[in-house]
Structure 1
Amino acid sequence: MESMYRSLKDWHDQAMSLGDPRLDGWLLMDSPVPPALLSILYVVLVLAGMRWMKGRNPFDIRPLMVVYNLSMVVFSAWLVYEFCVSGWLTGYSLGCQPVDFSRSPKAIRMAKACWWFFFSKYIEMLDTFFFVLRGRFELVTFLHVFHHAVVPPSAWWGVKFVPGGFSTFATMLNSVVHVVMYLYYGLAAMGPSVQPYLWWKRYLTKFQMVQFVTIVIHGMQLYFIECDYPKAFANAIMTLACIFFVLFANFYIQVRPS
């Protein structure tokens, strides 16, 4: 048992030594263990919260939800802006785009944008707890919980080793999608008077599915071009995109009108 622990620790230390040294000391970036534990804690708290809410009256938290969702619109829009000004509108290519590991202001700004994207995934876990407090257990689906539990620790690896470059196309695109998604949630939380203006709800799931297809198409380029960007990270993102496409497609089939 001790030898196994030592082997795991040696592997952990060796792997962490290969990470981007610019991120040393940044919150949650020294080891993959805390992000993984936070995701496990999230699942445990969701299950415990649902059990606690059974038989209790739902909480009326609409004002809080309006503030939260509209704040997430602003935050997601800021992330899009940061990804654009630190690369995607200032010299990045849709083709091969290596990571700039320098300490230039622009490269550091991109690394910070990547970290904030990663950290935002923990903030977004509040979505689930709002569902639970409102007694909307039908919204706490496998897709919903799986998405919120898997994305943060997955994003950690990208931020730790490649905070910039090719695959930030996916994070930028995801931030665009979240601007639209949280705008819908914020408006919907305002009550029935706004519902007639939310006809575009039917397109939200399609929009998310188009996002995943676009990410895969973009990532497939690395199989046909020479690029100084690690394929392992692009492959991981494409794999997640495919998994989420299947889950979202299944959700769309289940909820669409017959």
Structure 2
Amino acid sequence: MTPLIIILVTYLYFCLYAGPRYMAKRKPFKLEGVLIAYNAIQVVLSIWLVYEGIMGGWNGVYNWRCQPVDYSRDPIAMRMAGAVWAYYICKVVELLDTVFFVLRKKQNQISFLHLYHHTLMPVCGFIGVKYFAGGHGTLLGVINSFIHVCMYAYYMLAAMGPKVQPYLWWKPYLTKMQIVQFVIVFFHTLQVQFQPTCGYPKSIAALLTLNAALFIYMFSMFYIKSYLRAAKRPSKKDGTEVNNNLLDCKPKQEEQTDAEEVDSRQRLVASDGEKKDL
């Protein structure tokens, strides 16, 4: 656990303090090629994790109502344990998502929800590997990996530039999928509390249920703020903003105000010159 704590503390320090301070007077790094490769690898890894999770028990071997952890050397149990370990490693690697935001000076995308999610998931992965490498709670990893297939595919396409932007209309559906994911996990883990003979730890199921409820709330608030409220705002016709990922254009009104101010100063200087001539 100690190495993970060091990694997470360093991660938060860099993303919240050291990174922004380092980038303050520097231009954003151009990481298009790196991002395309990184996201493509994440897509492949996520597809593999979905497959391993299904073959490790969720293909009909596991009980959907209650599945205890199998600590034996059974091949299926070992396969699921391997998938849980790989999932944990992937959650640590995904900390690079935020690092790339910092290096590209996209600090506005590093929200509390983003940091909470990226910090908590490696901790959950570690606890899973250490104590519960299988059983009921692993459905979360399978569903989450499927969501990440779609999410990293979107990021990969977005990194390819403006020519791909018209085909990324499905971005809002990613947030909807995240919400549906945690609704499923919420009810799936909640039912353990009503199974008196279930061998899966009720305390862990309760924590997973609570965490799912928090994510449902936070992702729902994010969706309302980013899409529902944004859709009600009047569209700007002055070219102020086209896309958050494109150039941050100065509003025309501000440009006109600046021009008028310069013109006023020039007139004042000219007037002072005429007075001196007199």
Give me the TM-score of the superposition, normalised by structure 2.
Answer: 0.79
Give 1:72's match in structure 2, choosing from 19, 31, 42: 42
Worse overlay, 89-98 or 58-67: 89-98
2-structure distance, mates of 1:181, 1:238: 23
Q: Does 1:246 align with 2:211?
A: no
Larger radius of gyration: 2
1-structure distance, mates of 2:89, 2:203: 22
Worse overlay, 76-85 or 221-230: 221-230
Structure 1 contact 158–233 (Cα < 8 Å) conserved:
no
Structure 1 contact 86–109 (Cα < 8 Å) conserved:
yes
Structure 1 contact 39–150 (Cα < 8 Å) conserved:
no
1-structure distance, mates of 2:41, 2:91: 14
Q: Where does 1:84-123 land on structure 2 (aligned, <5 Å)?
A: 84-123=54-93
Which residue does 1:209 correspond to in 2?
179
Q: Does 1:140 align with 2:110?
A: yes
1-structure distance, mates of 2:55, 2:124: 25
Q: Where does 1:56-71 land on structure 2 (aligned, <5 Å)?
A: 56-71=26-41
Q: Which secondary structure does the structure 2 equivalent of 1:229 belong to?
A: coil
Q: Which secondary structure does the structure 2 equivalent of 1:166 belong to?
A: coil
Runs (5+) with no aligned partner, structure 2:
233-278
Which residue does 2:148 correspond to in 1?
178
- Sequence identity of aligned pairs in percent? 46
Q: Does 1:237 align with 2:208?
A: yes
Runs (5+) with no aligned partner, structure 1:
1-31
2-structure distance, mates of 1:136, 1:76: 25
Q: Which secondary structure does the structure 2 equivalent of 1:164 belong to?
A: coil
Worse overlay, 131-140 or 100-109: 100-109
Which residue does 1:9 correspond to in 2?
none
Q: Which secondary structure does the structure 1 equivalent of 2:170 belong to?
A: helix
Structure 1 contact 40–149 (Cα < 8 Å) conserved:
no
Post-superposition shift, 1:191?
A: 1.0
Q: Which secondary structure does the structure 2 equivalent of 1:228 belong to?
A: coil
Which residue does 1:35 correspond to in 2?
4
Give me the TM-score of the superposition, normalised by structure 1.
Answer: 0.85
Deviations 1:182-202, CA, capped at 9 Å, x for gaps? 111111111111111111111
Runs of 4+ in 1 over 6 A off after TM superposition: none
1-structure distance, mates of 2:31, 2:53: 33
Count matched residues. Answer: 227
1-structure distance, mates of 2:59, 2:171: 30
Deviations 1:4-59, CA, capped at 9 Å, x for gaps? xxxxxxxxxxxxxxxxxxxxxxxxxxxx3322222111101212111111121111
2-structure distance, mates of 1:232, 1:160: 16
Post-superposition shift, 1:112?
A: 1.0
Give 1:167's match in structure 2, choosing from 118, 137, 141: 137
Q: Which secondary structure does the structure 1 equivalent of 2:199 belong to?
A: coil
2-structure distance, mates of 1:46, 1:163: 30
Higher relative contact order (CA 8 A, sep 6+): 1
Post-superposition shift, 1:224?
A: 2.0
RMSD of aligned alpha carbons: 1.2
1-structure distance, mates of 2:160, 2:202: 44
Structure 1 contact 128–140 (Cα < 8 Å) conserved:
yes
1-structure distance, mates of 2:38, 2:214: 28
Deviations 1:61-83, CA, capped at 9 Å, x for gaps? 11110110011000001000111
The amino acid that maps onto 1:159 is V
Post-superposition shift, 1:104?
A: 2.1
